[in-house]
Structure 1
Amino acid sequence: MQNRAVDQEILALAIPAFLALVAEPLFLLADAAIIGHLGTVPLAALGVAGAVITTVVGLCVFLAYGTTADVARKLGAGDRAGALASGMDGVWLAVAIGVPVTLVGVLTAEWWIDLFGASAEVSGPAADYLRIAFLGTTPLLLVLAATGVLRGLQDTRTPLVAAVAGNLLNIAANLALVHGTGPLPRLGLTGSAWGTVLAQTLMAAGLLAVLAHATRRAGVNLRPRTGGVRSAGRAGIPLLIRTLTLRAALLVTTYSVVSFDDSTTLAAHQLAFTIWTFLAFVLDAVAIAAQALTGRALGSGDVARTRALTQRMITWGIWSGLVTGAALAASSPVIGRLFTNDDAVVSALASALLVAALAQPAAGVVFVLDGVLIGAGDGRYLAWGGLAVFVSYAPFALWADSLVWVWLAFGAIFMGGRLVVLLHRARGEAWMLIGATRASS
């Protein structure tokens, strides 16, 4: 296998995927920038409500990952019609999850807000925003599922176009509905919620139109297949558990920092985590390419190509981590000035970022191998491995007594533990099951 040809395949998938990943957080950033001019209370309400929505939707990321693996396998096996049929199973699963979540969310919006213990001044507007925002849950899940289908078909450009168009529409709709334009009334905070729901709905409609066209051309029926939807749901459970272990680890990390009862340390940690998350988009873009390429290679029955792809992906992960780590270390003394003028926060942030920089090469390999095993449909191993790493990491995170020690535990125990678990699996052959589906092998 020519490395240059493989690199071109990786870049063709990873670059649009990275740009689409970066575009996703811009929804809340745009909302925050617009709402921020209304005052502190609306901005605080947006922060609380946004945390609920992002958590609910984040737990359903398996709709994208599981669909990518299944579609890519069937594509590799030469069964494009079967790939699209499996993709539509994932789309209908998104509907099956999204509709009840929307109903429950709308009815329990105040309860979710009360969990945060926000003041009455903030909780009322936050509940109003959240009640409307939950109406966008099904469109958001449809976007995840449709994006997974397109990635499995080796297309990361269409989701990028949808993400950019959705963000532009979100900004326009928010400006019009928040402040009022022409015949449109000034709705304030709730206008932002309606504008975002509108943008999310149109994004979903655009992606579904692309899929419907491809599905009809392949002669695939668009109606739901009960067995296929049920199968997609079963395949998603291990990936859901994997996601829960990741989010639990992040919550434990933040809880440990909060327990210090020091606003300077908490502010520095929040900034460090924000920067780490942004750099994760770079590494996750390569992981998305790994999902699509691994699934296709295994579907075609080419074990040698799968192994060669994995080795090349690991090389990409190492170099990506070295580059992001070097950039993080070099900028650590000054990057804090972009966010705050507090010298104590800048100093604490610099120390945390230096530790985070050391973990970047390991993180690069972890993200890539995570993508490879997701692409192989090895969700059960990822779920059990994730649980084992979380149980090992949590005591160290809770024992840490400073920000530097928290980040050392995160880098060495959590990321290091995931690295060991994933490398152990990747070196074996149990995950390399060939054929259109894992079960058929």
Structure 2
Amino acid sequence: MAQWGMVGAYVVVVRRLARRHSATLRPQRDGLGGTVRSGGWLFLRTVSLRIAFLATVAVATGLGSAELAGWQIAFTIFSTAAFALDALAIAAQALIGRSLGARDTETVGRVLRRTSAWGIWFGVIVGAVVAASSGVIGLLFTGDPEIAALIRPALLVLAVAQPLAGFVFVLDGVLIGAGDARYLAIAGVLNLVPYIPALLLVAALAGGGASGLAWLAAAFFGVYLLARALTLGLRVRGRAWMTAGD
């Protein structure tokens, strides 16, 4: 319902702007081609994310039924925190797109620095909340003290990784706003290079129980998020991304 509501709002805005600038509403070849290219790269990026998620679930399944349930809880908490942290990413995406469209690279740099700092500090706050409530989160989901004890170490790993997650989500928004979909897609594939071997090590060596689940969390919230932070961080250190969407 929310998405269809946004479609309706965008149609109203587009029609109003088209009338104001005497622009046609008929699809144009160049516009469709650009959308297909950008959408194709973003689709590849999404596929890489899904591969990482599915591979993680596969390893969690091998650890045991309780561990799989525990991972589902931990990942649900991660997803919930991600929605909060993603609010900054969406703001960065809009501000970066607007500033690049106006050729205002000075503002682009300010937005990048400010939203990155906010993402990290907001991650600290979210991580502190998760860490403080790590002992009761399992009880809220299952009412089972054994499951609560099982997932607590994994939740603490998740909590420690939240500042890194905030940084990653903001940079995702920055590069999407810059139209740098091709780099995001390539980086998404590269991020799997260290992560898949890390998952195989967890599957082979970690075993089950709280320690196995904690090692799985360390692989996902550590190795995978760190790989994403490195590939995205290296990109924004240069200036090539500032013209990626031209």
Shorter-chain TM-score above 0.5: yes
The SS at the match of 2:142 is coil
The yes-or-no answer on 1:269 pairing with 2:71 is: yes
Q: Which has the higher contact order (CA 8 A, sep 6+)?
A: 2
1:377 positional shift: 1.2
Give the alignment partner of residue 405 of structure 1, picking from 187, 208, 215: 215
Cα 1:301–1:214 shift into 2, 3 Å? closer
State the Cα deviation string for residues 381-404 of structure 1 (Å, max 9, x = none). Answer: 111111111121011113212111
1:343 positional shift: 1.6
Give the alignment partner of residue 44 of structure 2, picking from 228, 241, 264: 241
Partner of 1:222: 25
Aligned residues: 238
In the alignment, structure 2 segments of 5+ residues that lack a partner are 207-211
- Give the Cα separation in 2 of the matches to 1:343 and 1:219: 65
What pairs with 1:354-365 in structure 2 (closer than 5 Å)? 354-365=156-167
Task: Determine what percentage of the aligned residue pairs are the same residue.
Answer: 45
- Give the Cα separation in 2 of the matches to 1:215 and 1:344: 60
State the Cα deviation string for residues 95-115 of structure 1 (Å, max 9, x = none). Answer: xxxxxxxxxxxxxxxxxxxxx
Q: Say if 2:92 and 2:115, in contact at 8 Å, map to a contact too.
A: yes
Cα RMSD (Å): 1.8
Partner of 1:208: 11
- Give the Cα separation in 1 of the matches to 2:144 and 2:117: 39
Q: Say if 1:337 and 1:346, in contact at 8 Å, map to a contact too.
A: yes
Partner of 1:319: 121
Partner of 2:171: 369
State the Cα deviation string for residues 186-205 of structure 1 (Å, max 9, x = none). Answer: xxxxxxxxxxxxxx5x7644
Cα 1:290–1:338 shift into 2, 3 Å? same
Q: Say if 1:366 and 1:422, in contact at 8 Å, map to a contact too.
A: yes
Q: Say if 2:139 and 2:147, in contact at 8 Å, map to a contact too.
A: no
The yes-or-no answer on 1:281 pairing with 2:76 is: no
Counterpart amino acid of residue 413 in structure 1: V
The SS at the match of 1:374 is helix
- Give the Cα separation in 2 of the matches to 1:203 and 1:422: 29
Counterpart amino acid of residue 223 in structure 2: I
Partner of 2:94: 292
Counterpart amino acid of residue 18 in structure 2: T
Q: Say if 1:279 and 1:324, in contact at 8 Å, map to a contact too.
A: yes
What pairs with 1:133-282 in structure 2 (closer than 5 Å)? 163=2, 204-205=7-8, 207-260=10-63, 262-282=64-84
Partner of 2:240: 430
- Give the Cα separation in 1 of the matches to 2:31 and 2:229: 33
State the Cα deviation string for residues 346-394 of structure 1 (Å, max 9, x = none). Answer: 1112121101001100000000011111111111111111111112101
State the Cα deviation string for residues 160-190 of structure 1 (Å, max 9, x = none). Answer: xx62xx8xxxxxxxxxxxxxxxxxxxxxxxx
The SS at the match of 1:377 is coil
- Give the Cα separation in 2 of the matches to 1:306 and 1:209: 29
- Give the Cα separation in 1 of the matches to 2:7 and 2:238: 39
The SS at the match of 1:431 is helix
Cα 1:207–1:235 shift into 2, 3 Å? closer
Q: Say if 1:369 and 1:422, in contact at 8 Å, map to a contact too.
A: yes
1:281 positional shift: 0.4
- Give the Cα separation in 2 of the matches to 1:352 and 1:409: 11
The SS at the match of 1:219 is coil
The SS at the match of 2:68 is helix
In the alignment, structure 1 segments of 5+ residues that lack a partner are 1-161, 167-199
TM-score (norm 1): 0.52
- Give the Cα separation in 2 of the matches to 1:250 and 1:331: 24
Partner of 1:177: none
- Give the Cα separation in 2 of the matches to 1:275 and 1:213: 41
The yes-or-no answer on 1:416 pairing with 2:219 is: no
The SS at the match of 1:407 is helix
- Give the Cα separation in 1 of the matches to 2:124 and 2:183: 27
TM-score (norm 2): 0.90
The SS at the match of 2:121 is helix
- Give the Cα separation in 1 of the matches to 2:83 and 2:19: 34
Partner of 1:352: 154
State the Cα deviation string for residues 261-316 of structure 1 (Å, max 9, x = none). Answer: x2211111111111110110011111111111111111111112111111111111
- Give the Cα separation in 2 of the matches to 1:405 and 1:218: 57
- Give the Cα separation in 2 of the matches to 1:379 and 1:289: 18
- Give the Cα separation in 1 of the matches to 2:6 and 2:232: 35
Q: Say if 1:264 and 1:344, in contact at 8 Å, map to a contact too.
A: no
